[in-house]
Amino acid sequence: TGIEAFVRGLPKTDLHMHIEGSIEPQLMLDLAARNGLKLRWDTAEALRGAYRFQNLQSFLDLYFEGCKVLVTERDFHDVTRAYLRRAHEDGVIRAELFIGPQSFTERGTPIEALMSGVLGAMEEARREHGMSLGLMISVHRHRTEPDAMAVLDQVMPWKDHIIGIGMGGAEVGNPPSKFARFFQAARDRGFRTTVHAGEEGPAAYVREALDLLQVDRIDHGNACLADHDLVRELAAQRVPLTVCPLSNLRLKVVSSMREHPLKALMAHGLHVTVNSDDPPYFDGYVTENLLACRDALGLSTEEIVGLVRNGVEAAFVTEEERQALL
């Protein structure tokens, strides 16, 4: 339709996506075969059929199972290249990609293989598609703070190729405060920071992210709406929220798209961006996320353009790079 082509054609950002959450089902089967691994599913349709989740944990279980197919440098290259090609076709001009090394190094994959594969594919996409790209290292909040510190040490040889540090995983019971020293260390080493907060967790976790971790952005952030003082501060400081509407729907953070808080967040003057998170698992890249919000919440064309522009403003780029993207 007209609006679909319009949204796809808009130059967009994807600031919250996980490389290991971007493996399309057929590629997962191909990588498993290449590595001599047997999956619980034989066909892409059967695998896609398993993408039905009750909550964040039920998704994480499958997501970490899927991580097993990424073993060699070539695997990391191929999955990154596939996402970037698809995102480019979707009209994404700036993508910031998370990868969580712990899922792979714990099984013996050298950090060098992971970094070389991902960074090589990013360099190709810059060259071939003219995309603006940044890599972010994400740690697991359900593991310990010393584990996270070890990841930070491991990736320091690639410091100049990493724009930021983030954290995901099982949120409830693993508050931001558990990682206060880790985020301080990340900031001390010159990294931008962001953290998943207020996805399944309460507004208090978003508060901790802001006050204790002093992050530059919040990933998701939905739950902030329960705390009016917090909303006021987030709006005043223009802290970007990287919201992922279809992720929220599929993980039952919201019971329907009509109940998604996107418009409420916007109405409070928050710096809202729309992102894909783990596109195949949640059945949508950035365009589908924007269109789902438009259909359910009645976003105007101006509101869609505003959300897309917010993404460019929230990107971890220099002012010069930002002007080039606008």
Residues annotated in a binding site for Zn(2+): 16, 18, 196, 277
> Closest CB to Zn ion belongs to which residue?
277
Beta bridge partners of 218: 195, 241
List the interface residues with ligand ADE, window 230-269 (CB under 6 A): 247
Which of ligand ADE, Zn ion, none does residue 288 bind (CB under 5 to 8 Å by kind)?
none
Which of Zn ion, ligand ADE, none does residue 21 bind (CB under 5 to 8 Å by kind)?
ligand ADE
Beta bridge partners of 92: 12
Site residue total, Zn ion (CB under 5 A)? 1
280 binds ligand ADE per the rule CB under 6 A: no
277 binds Zn ion per the rule CB under 5 A: yes
19 binds ligand ADE per the rule CB under 6 A: no
Task: Answer yes or no: are the C-beta atoms of 206 and 232 closer than 8 Å.
Answer: no
User: Which of 68, 60, 66, 98 minimizes the C-alpha distance to 251?
Assistant: 60
Q: What count of Cα atoms within 13 Å lies in the side-chain half-sphere of residue 194?
A: 27
Q: Please identify, using beta-carbon distances, which residue of 18 and 207 lies nearer to Zn ion.
A: 18
Residues 6+ apart with CB under 8 A from 171: 56, 141, 196, 197, 199, 200, 201, 205
State the nearest-atom distance from the C-beta of 314 to ligand ADE, in Å. Answer: 18
Q: Near Zn ion by CB under 5 A, which window of 79-87, 103-111, 227-235, 275-283?
A: 275-283
18 binds ligand ADE per the rule CB under 6 A: yes
CA trace torsion 286, 289, 290, 296 (10° rounding)? 180
Which of ligand ADE, Zn ion, none does residue 199 bind (CB under 5 to 8 Å by kind)?
ligand ADE
State the nearest-atom distance from the C-beta of 138 to ligand ADE, in Å. Answer: 7
Which of Zn ion, ligand ADE, none does residue 169 bind (CB under 5 to 8 Å by kind)?
ligand ADE
Tell me the binding residues.
Answer: 16, 18, 196, 277-278
Beta bridge partners of 277: 17
96 binds ligand ADE per the rule CB under 6 A: no
Which of Zn ion, ligand ADE, none does residue 56 bind (CB under 5 to 8 Å by kind)?
ligand ADE
Exposed, middle or buried, 26 (CB in 10 Å: 0-12/13-18/19+)?
Answer: middle
174 binds ligand ADE per the rule CB under 6 A: no
Task: Answer yes or no: are the C-beta atoms of 55 and 200 closer than 8 Å.
Answer: yes
Task: Answer yes or no: are the C-beta atoms of 247 and 15 closer than 8 Å.
Answer: no
State the nearest-atom distance from the C-beta of 63 to ligand ADE, in Å. Answer: 6
List the interface residues with ligand ADE, window 20-49 (CB under 6 A): 21
Q: Which of 14, 78, 199, 208 binds ligand ADE (CB under 6 A)?
A: 199
Is-catalytic flag, 199? yes
Task: Tell me how far apart the alpha carbons of residues 235 and 29 are, in angstroms, rounded to a whole number.
Answer: 44
Instruction: Give long-range contacts, CB 8 A cutoff, 24+ apart: 292-300.
Output: 292/245, 292/246, 292/249, 292/257, 293/245, 293/257, 293/260, 293/262, 294/3, 294/7, 295/257, 296/256, 296/257, 296/258, 296/260, 297/257, 297/258, 297/260, 297/262, 297/263, 299/263
**Neighbour count for residue 190 (Cβ, 10 Å):** 9
Q: Please identify, using beta-carbon distances, which residue of 76 and 281 lies nearer to Zn ion.
A: 281
Helix spans in 189-267 (H): 203-208, 228-236, 245-250, 262-267
List the interface residues with ligand ADE, window 114-173 (CB under 6 A): 168-169
Task: Answer yes or no: are the C-beta atoms of 95 and 135 closer than 8 Å.
Answer: no
171 binds Zn ion per the rule CB under 5 A: no
278 binds ligand ADE per the rule CB under 6 A: yes
Catalytic one of 20, 171, 199, 200? 199
Binding site for ligand ADE (CB under 6 A): 18, 21, 56, 63, 168-169, 196, 199, 247, 277-278
Query: Active-site residues: which are they?
Result: 199
